[in-house]
Structure 1
Amino acid sequence: MCSIQEGELLQPKRQPSSSLRDRKCMKCSNEETVVIIRINDAFCKDCFLQYCTHKFRSAFGKSRLIRDKEQVLVAHSGGPASCAMLHLIQEGTSRRAHKKLRFSSVLVFIDDGVFHGLTLVERKARNAQVLKQLISSGLDVHAYAIEQVMSTTSSASLGLPVQAVSADSFEILCSFDSECKQLEALLAATTSDTSRQSLQHVLRQRLLIQVANGMGINKVLLGNSTTSLAVQMMSNVAQGRGAHLLYDMSFADLRSTSVTFVRPMREFTTHEIEHYLLLNQLGTIDVISTGPKGLEGLTSDFVLGLQADFPNTVSTIMRTGEKIGVSHSEIDIDLCCSLCQAPLDTDVGPSSALAATQFSEVVSRGNRQSSRCSSEATECCGQGDGSCQSSTRCELPDLRRSLCYGCRLMCKDLKDTSLLPASVQSNALQVKNRAEMRASIQNFLIEDDDAK
């Protein structure tokens, strides 16, 4: 029984501060401590760097996901986790490495400054810094603009045009004026900061898939740390994406049928990453958004605030997410979201909470729709439930049926879903055609039980 009386507050128990000079390394017991992790584990510089290197390489060894001499795509954003991952890959593939990483890497940088409200001059300046850092690594580097996700080029052929970056040019070629205008129109039509952040993640993931398909690569390394994944988990649950926690938090994200997203920095906290960069004297280039934070930014402040007082907060969130994740052994392409490509979670019964929510929306909007929606209207009513009769449709019913619950909530904040990438509309139409074809031949299909 709880012993806390009404009105009493449970104050966090802060760990007693101890000077690093008074501690000895817990591993070698000889060198002076430079960092303390896991609340009370002290490491010297050499032992801490060995600890990080071993944790990074063991992530690949345990999974056995990447084969020898396989080519992988490394997504680099210029942030701390990406810089630490790039340095660990360089150390793991160098000649002096004791146990080498046996895959080859191709670096990919995506300029998404449009989401952060950066001007063209500011985007070019940041691109120059990031690409200069990547080129100094000696690896093959390719750069893209996020606007290219709006392109109609099929990823099944050659993918999007690869722009190799030379040492003489540190700018991404801005030759996608039409795609840029389409993306700006899409962002302007998004009425929620939370949905705009979610849209940024989805479009970045789609572009990485298109780039990987164009290069013939089926593994993409991401720099998600355990802290960022914990924040993402809390934010996604609040946005109706709880059914996809297994994909969002696992070491290998298998939601795409053609590309596997791998998170080798999954076991690293931001505290460990910061000290790794500091001890190796590595710089970072990050985007500072001055606009509203949205739900993800607020969740980050909340989780990091708890982590400061309760050091086990992030690890507890991660362990909880791993327990409640739902496993999907086989993925049917016809039953995947046309936007985020995760398995659909909307195939529920008529007595479900989702069905009740949709019924309440239709009933509550009925009176307004009868007065605003007509065949003579020239502007959309903005309801997004498929009943609008105006010439500008706010939401295509076929698209709505092909979206997961989280993407449906995100698209509610879009004034016009026709602004979404053409590939999304094409996927929705393909799913509709396959469903209609399957329904037309359903009576002629032989079931397994009948065959026996």
Structure 2
Amino acid sequence: MTSCGNPNVEKDALMERRPKYDGKTKICVKCKENQGNVVIRHAVYCKSCFFPLVQTRFKRTLEPSINPAPDGPRRKALRAAGSLAVGFSGGTCSMTLLDLVAKTYLTTRPTGNESMKGGTDHPRNSERGVWKGKPTVCYVEVCGAFSGQIDQTEVIRAIVERYPNCPFEFIPLRLEDSFNPSWWSSVGGGNAVDSARSFGLDISDEELRLTHISQSTPPDSSALTALKAYLSSVPTLTAVNSTIQTLIRLLLFHTAAAHNASHLLLGTSLTSLSVNLISGIAQGSGFAVAEEAKEEWTPRPARGLPVRVVRPLRDVGVKECAIWNWWAGLHPVDRPWYPSGAGKNAVDSLTRDFIFGLETDYPATVSTIARTCGKLASKEDSDERCILCERPAQRRVQDWKAQISIRSYSDATPAVSGITKPTHLSDDEISNLTQAKQESKPEPSLAPYLCYACHTTLTSRSIRGMTAPLSAQRAKETPLPMWVRSTLDGVVAKDSVDSEMIQSKKLTSQDIKSQIEQYLIDE
């Protein structure tokens, strides 16, 4: 073996490539003694070496992010600034995460004299934990979003409370809490003021204009009704999946901030991280792709501590998580969001099938995807945040999107009645795309405050049309999540004081000529 074709390099100085599993190796590569029980990325491990392997990867990812950045090169004991919150779904990787947290940081130390000698095991350190207070486990129930699903809250509660001395505080949430003023007040978001509460979203308008909800709308409309109205207004199945993920993410963030948590742990495995990265880029969130691997979120309005989002299993594959659960006697709660298979053609579902199949045949490729995407960064930083997903937003998204895509038709008549009518758009949708707004009064719009991914989610068009037909009244009064309403209250009030409203419209050739006519030279 030579290096770069140099025959003078000593053979002993070269690092031999680890051979792939040939199907004949039976001895564990770690201890070199025991019979192997499992093959992980072409390497054989026994049961005794498997658990320390996963726990080491877990701690190697989590512990560097626990302490704030040190002032110098010194090493400090692990002391977090706040409490710990764990996002728990009951799935395979989430179950492994909860078990690792409980067994690594929350187990009761032995009280024998031989077990507590000195150093970190000194008796004075026996009652001092890494995080302050009692860790919380947050679970978001999504059965209200789809029909035919069973509420699994009590099942999840039993799983969380089965650990000795119950080291976790269980906090059940529901997806419809995103539209619940009572929940918003409980997490310190404040009261939903009348101005923000009266705003609805015109989902049929390309500009996503804000409309005032009519008096005919029941004021005591339930949060579940608002959630179903919001999901039914989203145009595609891919957008529905993305919207649910965004709502769950923000519910966990605000709940963690309300409990003064400095860290939020999510059970995203290496496989799931690769799926999220590829799926997110495909849906337009490439500007914030770094947020998938490492994220620090500051609540709005400001309260509590900044929440550092950590994915400790990002170096552990879903196969290792399944093996951990099997040998530890854990039983995940497996419940698909779409029991009838309605969402199997969504972008994230197709990406998941592709990555899972890729991991079976080429396991190293999945790790390469995650590591490569983790090195990506945008050309320019942005201090703006999307009002919906609260991730970094690119500046002037609308102008950039208008340059790379065609979003309207110049003439409505042939588009509606002629043979050029797009088959995937209804007459009402085409009419909304082609109606002239030059003479209309500027109205507040949600579009300038959205990132590219969220703007695409709300305005994308499917070849099969809308996920559910909406009446014209319902399409113009789509409810908004509570954190969007709270932020809009300040934004709309500021725009009213400044007497400035953003309006975008397409100019005709005559309009352009009239604006520059004084600079033209007569022929």
TM range (shorter): 0.7 to 0.9
Aligned residues: 387
* Contact preservation (8 Å) 2:82, 2:260: no
**Residue 150 (structure 1) shift:** 0.6
Q: Does 2:171 correspond to 1:142?
A: yes
Identify the residue that residue 285 of structure 1 maps to in structure 2: 333
Cα distance change, pair 345–160 in 1 and its aligned pair in 2 (3 A): closer
Alignment of 1:395-434 (within 5 A): 398-413=445-460, 415-416=475-476, 418-434=478-494
Alignment map for 1:245-260 (pairs within 5 Å): 245-250=289-294, 252-254=295-297, 258-260=306-308
The corresponding residue for 1:444 is none
- Corresponding residue to 1:297 among 349, 373, 386: 349
Displacement of 1:420 in angstroms is 2.3
Q: 1:61 Cα deviation (Å)?
A: 2.3
Q: Indicate whether 1:114 and 2:174 are aligned.
A: no
Q: Aligned partner of 1:307: which letter?
A: E
Shift of 1:117: 3.5
Matched, 1:202 2:214: no
> In the alignment, is the contact (CA less than 8 A) between 1:108 and 1:144 conserved in 2?
yes
Name the CA distance, whole Å, in 1 between partners of 2:315 and 2:129.
18
**What is the deviation of 1:77?**
0.4
2:506 alignment partner in structure 1: none
- Is 2:230–2:479's contact at 8 Å kept on the other side of the alignment? yes
Indicate how the Cα distance of structure 1 residues 46 and 327 shifts in structure 2: closer, same or farther if over 3 A, else same.
Answer: farther
Partner residue in 2 for 1:33: 36
For structure 2, the 5+ residue unaligned runs are 1-19, 69-78, 111-119, 122-127, 191-219, 301-305, 418-426, 461-465, 467-474, 501-523
Aligned positions of 1:298-447 closer than 5 A: 298-326=350-378, 332=383, 335-347=384-396, 352=400, 354-357=401-404, 360-363=406-409, 381=429, 398-413=445-460, 415-416=475-476, 418-434=478-494
Q: 1:90 aligns with which of 79, 85, 102?
A: 102
Residue 33 of structure 2 aligns to a residue whose secondary structure is: coil
CA 1:62–1:216 in structure 2 vs 1: closer, same or farther (change >3 Å)? closer
Q: What TM-score, normalized by structure 2, do the two folds share?
A: 0.66
3-state SS, counterpart of residue 446 of structure 2 = helix
Query: Partner residue of 1:18?
Result: 23
Q: Distance in 2 between matches of 1:438 and 1:117?
A: 46
Q: 1:217 maps to what in 2?
A: 261
What CA deviation, in whole Å up to 9, does each residue of 1:371-405 have, x standing for no partner?
A: 9xxxxxxx97577779688xxxxx97521111111
Q: Distance in 2 between matches of 1:190 and 1:349?
A: 19
Task: Considering fraction of residues, name the structure with more helix.
Answer: 1
CA offsets per residue over residues 192-251 of structure 1, 9 Å max, x none? 11000000011111211221233232421111111111011111111111111000123x
Alignment of 1:156-235 (within 5 A): 158-159=187-188, 178-235=222-279
Q: Structure 1 CA distance, aligned partners of 2:324 and 2:369?
A: 23
Q: 1:210 to 1:287 in 2, by over 3 A?
A: same
Unaligned runs of 5+ in 1: 1-14, 162-175, 372-378, 390-394, 441-452
Retained in 2: the 8 A contact 1:381–1:388?
no
Q: Is the 8 A contact 2:88 2:137 kept in 1?
A: yes
TM-score, normalised to structure 1, is: 0.75
What is aligned with 1:75? 87
TM-superposed deviation, 1:110: 1.0
How many Å separate the matches in 1 of 2:407 and 2:449?
Answer: 19
Distance change (3 Å), C-alpha of 1:388 and 1:270:
farther
